[in-house]
Structures are given as structure tokens and as C-alpha cells.
Amino acid sequence: MVGIVVVSHSSALVAGLKELVAQMAPQMEQIAFVGGIDDPENPIGTDPMQVMEAINTVADRDGVLVLMDLGSALLSAETALDFLDPEVKKRVRLSPGPVIEGTLSAAVQASLGADLEAVAREAENALQMKRSQLGYEAAPLFTQADNITLSGLELRLDISNPNGLHARPAARLVSCAGSFQAHISLEKDGRVVDAKSINQVATLGVRNGETVLFRFEGEDAEAAREAVCRLHADSFGEPLAAATPAAFSLPLPVSARREGTLCGIPVSEGIAIGPAALPDIRVAEVEKAFCEDVDAEIERFEKCLLLAVEECEQLEHNAEQELGSEEAEIFTFHRLLLQDIETIEATRSLIADKRYTAEYAWKTVTDEVAADYRNIDDEYLRARAADVVDIQRAVLKQLSDIFIPSFEFEEPVILIVHDLSPSEVAGLPKENILGLCLAAGGPTSHAAIIAGSRGIPTVTGIMEALSMVRDGQTIILDCGSGCLYPRPAPGTLAEYDAKKKELEQKRQQLKEQSHGPAITKDGIEVRIAANIAGTTDLSLVQEYDAQGIGLFRTEFLFLDRNSAPDEEEQYRIYQTVGRGMQGRPVIIRTLDIGGDKPVPYLHSEKEGNPFLGLRGIRFTLANRELFLCQLRAILRASFETGIQIMFPMIGAVRELQEAVDLLEQAKQQLREKRLPCNENIPVGIMIEVPSAVAVADQLAPMVDFFSIGTNDLSQYVMAAERGNPRVASLPDPLHPAVLRMVKKTVEAGRLCDVHVGMCGALAGISKAAPLLVGLGLDELSMNAPMIPGQKAAVRDVDSSDAGKIAEQALAMTSADEVRKLLGMDQT
């Protein structure tokens, strides 16, 4: 804590001041008072040695501020400095502030833990409040820059940001204002708005070269004014050189940019040619409706608003981690829109006064806010209406269980959107979606996984597409290479037209030959299974004749809703899948949430490193009732079906033992209720954490099968987050480090007669078939549309050649070498 020494000619004066400090800053301990001198005859005066001693009693590494009354007090204090230890002296500041007001202000500030700089400033400016209250012009606190004039607790600023106070600087200003108690207003052309409301600040439409007047009222008004002044000096965090609002753009993605193309990360194969659609994502019609219980409705609104804020914070956090702070600011802006007190109050009032439902009240208020943005005479700010629509949608999604925006198009289009939720991708009208370009996210994001499993040609990570492609423009999306041609030349269009036809013919051929098992030339069968996320995938699974379901990602049943599905609902879904597969194996993986799959209503605490946090089995072991409910549902559905059970993210024997014990407990609960199940349901685990590979020999005797999750195994082995475009080339499943882990797992499985499959993205890559067979995998599970290609590739393999290829790959030093070995460097 900063120490304070008060020096006065009068002992009576310092005694009184001591009393005041004790009242106003009771926590202030490091304060010493020096009043008068030791001379009964002539007590008025100051003594340098007493001042020096006082400084030493309160000095520590945070420094000391000395306040003095007048004349010789100043001289004594200066003399005292000469007697101090040089180390102490360095940290002592003599204040020109008024002794009474200055001491009180400094004491309050120091007791709050402020540093010497801030405490000294408080003392110096201690008269400002009194001056402004008495109508005196404030003494200038800051160096008077050309564009800054100060008056009382006002601040007149010229805005020199190229695009005025648009979204980003407005967000910075609102965040700054929000950190003070003071009421801060902002005036332009006679319109006064609250500086803590993002909507009000942004719709004020302050442009480059305009002057605004800030007013500060309340306890920490001084500090707030100073903070705003600093923010202004820092151009509200925006580089002034920027001629246009800096786009929230993604850094150059993995694949090299080819001339005339925008490149991203391929998710699923295919070529799409057609008009681009950049839909203004509108919310479904919200009917005017009334509520019964106003208090309950307001509570529901507040709860859902909070969930939307949390979701937004998660996006902000992810964007910060993956793309950097500039990109994360789009979500900061969204968060501030969600937290805008005016909007919240207006919604609450509509619910309370008109008894509107939360949905209708929120929609009504945010429609008006969006309209305000649309009316601004500034192109950039007008476009922010889309951000209001985004947050409108975010809250409506929380309020309503089945809220899915409609993507209805009159003709087939290539859809370009920032991001979609899994349920939105699941609901896309496939007949009218030629291709999908997701500006954000990585290839293993939820949306990407669903798009791939639905056979929609998809590319992720092309942020520029949002600004460089116009609605209706004919574009090419080459999902094999991950490239988008925003303005293809006629020659390129013709070339891609031919390529597309060729690809479709080849696919059709493969599909026709796909029926039946995949057996290598020398008679080894590799089970080719499908990955699914729900019952809607079943038709594709049957169309492509999967030999089973190798991975049912059940977490998708828990996403995009407000509460977990109960046992009955889960049971019906698992039973539909089990029966639909007519006795073929169906591996149901228990809930794998966390990481990039947060479920806001289940995950209450935010984690710094969610991929290394309470994810998969760790989460379910910590939430036993939820886990037991799912286990019972799976067990019930296993009766007379081929359902098997798989635990995700197992990293240790103890975790598996606990999961198995709970499975036994779930069986017992069913026995007590006389509900049938397959008592001998096969149990397996995902191998996706390096520690599981290390102890695979200990895990193998406890299970019936292993399934290697290369998506996670690669990220954990390479210590590079999957889905983070900045390190997208690192978590490569073809890296020999990952392949050696696969090998070790297969060996451990073999010794215990454990079936070893693979369900990560590597399993579906047909050019890798010889390597995968050579590594000894019994099963490959993939998105259904990849099945025909992989079956054909496996049928073309001879296992002894494959063994040699695997050996070579394991001895290589990089994924690129392995790619070359497999002929994957040629397109």
C-alpha cells in the first residue's frame, strides 16, 4: 500500500485531519501525521527530522506521498528527503495538492490499493469537485492537446477515428465507461446519450472530424474522465491509419492462396458452382403473445439473456484464442449489445406493462434498435443492424426450444455464412444447398461435422468470403482444395463444370459398387462404418451401406436446446438407431461435451483451456445423475439390437473403472424396475488422449473394443488445438508421431483380442487406406458419403504391401513425407 505523510505547522490541525481520515478511509493504515514542533513555548512549525522519521515508518516498496501545508512545511519536507536512504527517497513524492482535500482523496485511493501515480494524481486533483460545484472552471488536468478542451467535469473531444465512433471504438468506449460508477453521457448536436449503452453510442453516429461533449457525474467522475481522455488519446484502440473499418478477418488460412481464389480448409469433398447466397439471417416469425405470470416471464427472459451472454463470451474467448483480439472484438460488440441496459429495461417494461411474452418483447425492442441502426446516415454503422439481428437471434434461440432460422431459397445456392449451429446445418434444405462456406471455425467444428455427414460440399475458414462475394454472384467452391473462386473467368467455369461432372460420375460408380463388405485382395475384412449425430443421418447410412455405426456422437442431442433430453427421449432415439441398423453394430458414445462443444445449460463454469478441462468422461463422472440417465437409456435400447457403448476421453484406468462401475449401477437400476437390456453389452473406449495409448495394455483387458479418435489424438499429441486455423497444419493425423500411437494401440488391442477401430477424420481418407490396413485396424468409421470411396480403396489393398507402407510411414519424420508416400501430394 502507498504510504502517506501529512506535514502541518499545527498539531491540532493534523489531529483533526487524522479524525477525518479515520472516518473516510478507515482501511488506510500507512499514514503518519507530523504536526508542530517540540517546543512548548513556540509549538507552531515543522521539523525535517520528524518528517524523515514519519516517511520511514510508512515507507515500503509502493512508495510514499507527502502532503504539506505551507511555507516551511515544504522546506522541511524537501530537507527530509536529503536524510533518507536513497532507495527510499526514490519512491517518495511531494504533492502540490491541498492538504485537507488532498489527504482525504489520497487516503481513499491508497486504501483501495492504487499505485503511487494514481494516489498522487488524486491528491493533486482534489479540488476539482469543489471547483465545479462552486461553478469555477476546472483547472486543466491534462496537457491541453489541440483537440481536447476541458471544462468542469466535462470533456469536449474531436473524434479523429477514420470512421468515427463505429462498432469497435464504440465498444471500447462503452467497456471503459462501464468500469466506472459515474454517470457518463455523450452529446452530439444536442442529442445526449448514455456512454454505457452500446446502442446509444453507436447510433449517435459520431463521424470523423465531429466533436462530442462528455459529461461525468458521480464519485469516480474524475477518474472516469481521465480514462476516457486516455482512450481518446489512444484513438479508442484503433490505428488511425486504417482507411476503412478494420474487417474482423481471419488470417491467411492453411492452404496457399491461389491467384483469384480465397482459400480455406476443406471439410468434405465436392465441387459446387452456382449463385452465392449471403442471407440476412432473419428470425422465424415471432407471434404477438401474452404471458400469464409477469415475474416468471421476466425471470425467464433474464435467464435466457444470461445464457446468450455466456455463449457470446465463449465465442469471444474462442475467437481471441484462435484468431486474435481484433477478431474477438466483433463478439465483444455483440456482448455489449446483449448487455445494453436500455434494451434490457425496455424489454422488461414491455413484459411488465403489456404482458408480452419474453420472445415478443425482446423481438419488438431489438427490431426497433435494428431500425435505429438502419436509419443512420453512415454506411458502416447502418450495416451494424445485422449485428443487432444476430443478438436478437441469440436470445430468441435460448428462449424457444425449437427456434431454427429458415434458409429458404428459390433456387439452389452456395451458402456463405459466418457460422452455423449444428442444428442449423441439420435443418438446411439440402436440395437447395449446392455448397457451404463457413467463414469461421475449423474442419472439426460441429457445423462442419454435420455438413460433412450430410454430404454437403463444405469449406471453412474463409472470412473474406463475407466481404468479397456479393449475393447472387456466380462462384465456384472447390471443396477438395478448399478454394473459393469469387469471380471465376468463363474458362475456369467451363473447366470446373467438366471436373464436377467427372467427379459425380466417379462417385456414382463407386456408390453402385459400394454394396457389401470391404475385403482386401488377400481376404482381410475391414469393417466400414458410419459416424452419425442423430436419427436423421440414418437414411444416408443405409444409402451408402455402412456395415455399422462406428460412432454415434450423442452430444449433438444435447446441443441447441435449454435442457438435457430425459431418459425416455434418449431411449427412443437410441432405439430407433439400433433397430434401424437391424442387428449391425451401433457404437453409442456417451456424452462428450466440453472442448469446442460447450453446453451452456450444463457447463456453468468457463474454463481457460476447455480442451484440457472438464471434457468427455471427466464431465460425466462429475455429473453422475446425468451420466446414469444416459447409461440407462443406452442400456434399454441395447435390448435385442446391436448397440454397444463407448466412453470418450478416457485417459486413465481409474476413469474407465469408475465408468464401468456406473454402468453396472445403471444395469442394477433397470433390473429393479424390471426393464430389459443387453446385460452383456460390449463396452469400449475412445483412444484419443496420449496417456490412454501409454497404458493401452492396461486398458485393453477391461474392454471389448478400442476406437481411435485421430481428431483429438493428433491435437493432444502435437499440442496444437484442433479447429484453430493458426496452427491448423500441426495436429495432422498423418504425422508419424500420431501414427506410432495408432500402431501401439493396435498392438495392445491384439494381445487381448480387442477389436480396434478408428473413427477420427483420417479413417475416411481413401488414399490412406493402405496405411490404415497396414497398421492393422479392424474398422474404419467415417461420414457416410465417404464410405463408397473407402470401401473401393480397401478392396484394392493387398495387406502385405500395406504392411510395408505402414512400416515406411512409421519411420518417416514428417506428415508431408507420409502424404507423399500415399500419393496425397498429387491432386
Which residues form the catalytic set? 446, 759
CB closer to Mg ion, 4 vs 772? 772
Binding-residue pattern over the window 569 to 608 for ligand PEP, x denoting contact by CB under 6 A: -----------------------x----------------
Task: Please tell me whether residue 534 binds ligand PEP under the rule CB under 6 A.
Answer: no
**Gyration radius of the chain over CA positions:** 34
- Give the cell for residue 400: 424457444
The region of 40-48, 66-74, 454-462, 708-716 touching ligand PEP under the rule CB under 6 A is: 708-716
Rule CB under 6 A: is residue 460 a binding residue for ligand PEP?
A: no
Q: Which residue of 226, 269, 688, 704 would you call a contact of ligand PEP, by CB under 6 A? A: 688
Considering the complex, what minimum distance in angstroms separates the CB of residue 555 from ligand PEP? 8
Instruction: Please say which residue, 182 or 587, places its beta carbon nearer to Mg ion.
Output: 587
> Does residue 721 contact residue 321 with C-beta atoms inside 8 Å?
yes
| CB-based contact 250:463 (threshold 8 Å) | yes
Q: Which of the 8 DSSP states describes residue 44? A: -
Which SS3 state, helix, strand or coil, does residue 267 take? strand
* Count, residues in the chain: 827
If the CB atoms of residues 102 and 731 are measured against ligand PEP, the closer one turns out to be: 731
Nearer to Mg ion by C-beta: 441 or 488?
441
* Least distance (Å) between residue 748 CB and ligand PEP: 18
- Our CB check for ligand PEP shows the closer of 309 and 689 to be 689
Minimum distance of Mg ion from residue 655's CB (angstroms): 15
- Residue 711 is a binding residue for ligand PEP (CB under 6 A): yes
Taking CB atoms, the residue at the shortest distance from Mg ion is: 712
Q: How far is the CB of 758 from ligand PEP (least distance, A)?
A: 8
| Shortest Å, Cβ 618 to Mg ion | 13
Instruction: Give the residue with the Cβ less far from Mg ion, 97 or 760.
Output: 760
Q: In what order do the strands lie in the sheet with 92-95?
A: 31-35, 3-8, 64-68, 92-95
Of 300 and 603, which CB lies nearer to ligand PEP in the complex structure? Answer: 603
Q: How far is the CB of 759 from ligand PEP (least distance, A)?
A: 4
Question: CB-wise, 264 or 594, nearer to Mg ion?
Answer: 594
d(CA 687, CA 676) in angstroms, rounded, equals: 30
The footprint of ligand PEP on this chain (CB under 6 A) covers a number of residues equal to 11
Looking at the Cβ atoms of 704 and 712, the one nearer to Mg ion is 712
759 near ligand PEP (CB under 6 A): yes
CB of residue 592 to Mg ion, shortest distance in Å: 6
Could you say which of ligand PEP, Mg ion, none residue 704 binds, taking C-beta under 5 to 8 angstroms by partner kind? none
- The entry of ligand PEP, Mg ion, none that residue 553 binds, CB within 5 to 8 Å by partner kind: ligand PEP
Question: Nearest distance from residue 715's CB to ligand PEP, in Å?
Answer: 8
Cβ atoms of 761 and 711 within 8 Å: the answer is yes
The Cα–Cα gap between 279 and 420 comes to: 12
Q: Which residues contact 265 (CB under 8 A, 6 or more apart)?
A: 253, 254, 255, 442, 443, 459, 460, 461, 482, 725, 728
Give the whole-angstrom CA distance, residue 179 versus residue 165: 19
- Give strand ranges (E) for 286-429: 413-417
For ligand PEP, which stretch binds (CB under 6 A), given 88-96, 231-239, 636-644, 704-712? 704-712
Judged by CB under 6 A, the residue of 124, 194, 704, 712 near ligand PEP is 712
CB closer to ligand PEP, 548 vs 760: 760
In 3D space, the residue among 742, 726, 789 whose CA is nearest the CA of residue 254 turns out to be 726
- Residue 620 in the binding site for ligand PEP (CB under 6 A): no
Rounded-to-integer distance, Cα 76 and Cα 217, Å:
38
Q: Shortest distance, CB of residue 741 to ligand PEP, whole angstroms?
A: 12
Q: How far is CA 796 from CA 497, 517, 760, 792, 793, in A?
A: 29, 13, 22, 6, 5
Residue among 496 and 627 whose Cβ is closer to Mg ion: 627
Span 436-455, contacts to ligand PEP by CB under 6 A: 444
Interface mask (CB under 6 A) for ligand PEP, residues 394-433, using x and -? ----------------------------------------
- All cell numbers assigned to 181: 460508477
Terminal-residue alpha carbon distance, the chain: 66
Q: How far apart are CA 483 and CA 462, in angstroms?
A: 9
Q: Which one of 43-51, 189-197, 709-717, 723-731 is the stretch in contact with ligand PEP (CB under 6 A)?
A: 709-717
Only segment of 171-179, 557-565, 707-715, 738-746 that touches ligand PEP (CB under 6 A):
707-715
> What does 759 bind: Mg ion, ligand PEP, none (CB cut-off 5 to 8 Å by kind)?
ligand PEP
Closest to ligand PEP by CB, 238 or 712: 712
Q: Cα separation of 799 and 789, whole Å? A: 18
CB of 314 or CB of 444, closer to ligand PEP: 444
String marking each residue 715-754 x if it binds ligand PEP according to CB under 6 A: ----------------------------------------
In angstroms, what CA-CA distances link 186 with 143, 209, 211? Answer: 22, 16, 10
Q: At closest approach, how far in Å is the CB of 711 from ligand PEP?
A: 3
Out of ligand PEP, Mg ion, none, which partner does residue 434 contact, by CB within 5 to 8 A per kind? Answer: none
Q: Which amino acid is present at 341?
A: I
The grid cell for 658 is 469408475
710 binds ligand PEP per the rule CB under 6 A: yes
Q: List residues near Mg ion by CB under 5 A.
A: 688, 709, 712
Stretch that binds ligand PEP, among 475-483, 660-668, 705-713, 785-793 (CB under 6 A): 705-713
Can you say whether residue 143 is alpha, beta or left, with left for phi > 0 and alpha for psi between -120 and 50 degrees? beta
How far apart are CB 807 and ligand PEP at their closest, in Å?
24
CB 247 within 8 A of CB 163: no
- Give the list of residues 6+ apart from residue 301 with CB closer than 8 angstroms, or none: 347, 348, 351, 358, 361, 362, 399
Cα 584 to Cα 153: distance, rounded to the nearest angstrom? 76
Minimal distance, residue 551 CB to ligand PEP, in Å: 6
Q: What is the dihedral of CA 371, 374, 376, 377, to 10 degrees?
A: -150
Q: In sequence order, what E strands does 69-166 have? A: 92-95, 148-151, 154-158
By the rule CB under 6 A, 709 interacts with ligand PEP: yes
Q: Compute the 3-state secondary structure of the chain and give helix, strand, coil in percent, each to the nearest 5.
A: 50, 15, 35
Residue 710 near which of Mg ion, ligand PEP, none (CB within 5-8 Å, type-dependent): ligand PEP
- The DSSP H or E segment spanning 761 is none
Binding residue for ligand PEP (CB under 6 A) from 9, 553, 791, 819? 553
Residue 455 interacting partner from ligand PEP, Mg ion, none (CB closer than 5 to 8 Å by kind): none
- What DSSP string describes 226-258? HHHHHHHHTGGG--TT-SSPPP-PPPP-SSPPP
Q: Rounded to an integer, what distance in angstroms lies between the CA atom of residue 222 and that of residue 214?
A: 12
CA distances from 327 to 222, 333, 726, 803 (A): 32, 11, 13, 46
Tell me the one-letter amino acid at 167: A
Specify whether the CB–CB gap between 152 and 138 falls below 8 A: yes
Stretch of residues binding ligand PEP (CB under 6 A), selected from 521-529, 559-567, 710-718, 795-803: 710-718
Interface with ligand PEP, residue 554, by CB under 6 A: no
For residue 290, what is the enclosing H or E element?
none
Closest approach of ligand PEP to the CB of residue 721, in Å = 12
Look at strands 211-217 and 154-158 and give their pairing: antiparallel
Mark the segment that binds ligand PEP (CB under 6 A) among 496-504, 657-665, 706-714, 734-742.
Answer: 706-714
Sign of the CA dihedral with 427 first, then 431, 437, and 439 last? negative
Q: Which residues contact ligand PEP by CB under 6 A? A: 444, 551, 553, 592, 688, 709-712, 759-760
